[in-house]
Amino acid sequence: MTGRAVLFVHGGGDDAYRCDKEIVDRLQSDLGPDKPIDVPLIAGLEVLDWPAVASQLGTALEALPRGAIVVAHSLGAAAVLKLLSAGADPKLSQLFLLAPPYTGADGDWGDGDFALPTDFAMRLPRGLPITLWHSEDDETIPVESAHRYAAKLNAARVVIVHEYGHQFEGNLAFLADAIRKAVR
């Protein structure tokens, strides 16, 4: 498989990069060596520092070639949405979100630096295909977040999976297949 670049954005908090690297390693195994996944350390996500995240993640998104694919987990997914809704437009071909907390200003997580404006969905790049996966047994970010996003992101595909937990433990063939289809 050749073609589009794939960027993985890890979640937030202490040691999130290391924990999410395990997701990337399993996904890379499913994709094979000819579709490398770039997974840069966004230090601002580790310490929950929005200005640092905006700078570091913004730079990573700007460096992507047109048509790239972004896979983002947890708070990293919410951060990608915030940057895209603020005007960043790296001309992605696909955005895949894994268990993002709903950080809309009208939600439980929407009172900090990572908050999204209530109209964030209308500010996203027009026509960007978005698929969001969330596990019903996620004890870190309740599945209710996926339902909140589904209500806002009308064109997004929202898929509730079972028994994957927050770290998407288990077989990631569904995600690898989605990436392969997006590459075609």
> How many Cβ atoms are within 10 Å of 70's Cβ, its own excluded?
26
Residue 83 located in a structural domain: yes
pLDDT, tens only, 47-95: 999 999 999 999 999 999 999 999 999 999 999 999 999 999 999 999 9
Residue 43 located in a structural domain: yes
| pTM for the structure as a whole | 0.94
Residue percentage of the chain with pLDDT more than 70: 95
Residue 178 located in a structural domain: yes
* CA angle (17 as vertex; 58, 86 as ends), nearest 5: 25
φ, ψ of residue 53 in degrees (nearest 5): -60, -50
Please give the residue range of the domain that contains residue 149.
Answer: 6-183
82 CA to centre of own chain:
11
Residue 72 located in a structural domain: yes
CATH code of residue 116: 3.40.50.1820
φ, ψ of residue 128 in degrees (nearest 5): -70, 120
pLDDT, mean of residues 32-50: 94
Residue 124 located in a structural domain: yes
The CA distance from 138 to 145, in Å, is 10
Residue 14 located in a structural domain: yes
Evaluate if residue 2 carries a pLDDT over 70.
Answer: no
State how many domains the chain has: 1
